[in-house]
Amino acid sequence: MDACNSGLRSFNREVATTAIGIANEHQLTKVVELGAGRGPVTNELVKHDETRGMRLLACDLVPNVGEYRKLEANYPDRVFPIYSPVDLTRPQKSLNDAVLVLAGVMHHVPFELRRAVIGSLSETNSQVAIFEPLLRTRLSMFMAVLSLQSLHS
Ligand SMILES: C[S@@+](CC[C@H](N)C(=O)[O-])C[C@H]1O[C@@H](n2cnc3c(N)ncnc32)[C@H](O)[C@@H]1O
């Protein structure tokens, strides 16, 4: 996923730039990447000078401890991963006063849990930004038609 969204495509870079814009607009100095996996957005955020002085947190239901440790070791002044599981369906105080970034996560949350996710995010006083790596191209439209066909067969 990283190879595609950070390498072939600029998705994670664009998410990071947007998150910094939201942080600046709302004078927030904390950005939390939720459902972070390997933390691709945090990996992009640290490349920006503007995130000096910010607190960048990465977390997940299943924390990727190895990747978090690397990020923390490389940017100890900026990256503060959450090593315990953070379940998006449960509200938590650590998610307050921040820009909460979900990139490529919502499509992984089962439909029946999405309401709980939106509910718990709404209970924070944070700015919530949800991104999915969708791109409308001729190829993607063709693939979508094929998937609709397979739903009907
Ligand atoms: C497709 S991966 C995307 C990872 C990362 N955002 C990326 O773009 O590479 C979806 C992530 O959502 C996480 N996830 C799914 N359900 C979750 C939940 N209820 N709470 C927190 N994270 C969850 C998974 O553990 C997984 O790391």
Domain with 143 in it: 2-152
End-to-end CA distance of the chain: 29
Which tokens is 19 given? 């998150």
CA angle 104, 67, 28 (to 5 degrees): 60
Pocket of ligand 1, beta carbon within 6 A? 1-2, 35-38, 40, 60-62, 86-89, 103-105, 108-109
> Residue 23 belongs to a domain with what CATH number?
3.40.50.150
57-101 pLDDT, tens digit each: 999 999 999 999 999 999 999 999 999 999 999 988 889 999 999
pLDDT score, position 139: 81
Count: domains in the chain: 1
Q: pLDDT band at residue 118, thresholds of 50, 70 and 90?
A: very high
pLDDT score, position 91: 82
Residue 64's CB is within 10 A of a number of other CB atoms, namely: 18
Between the CA of 37 and the centroid of ligand 1 the distance, in Å, is: 6
Between the CA of 90 and the centroid of ligand 1 the distance, in Å, is: 14
Tell me, what amino acid is at 33?
E
Site to probe by mutation for ligand 1, drawn from 61, 83, 90 as the one with most ligand atoms within 8 Å of Cβ, is 61
Dihedral sign from CA coordinates of 13, 15, 20, 25: positive
pLDDT score, position 136: 80
pLDDT score, position 143: 78
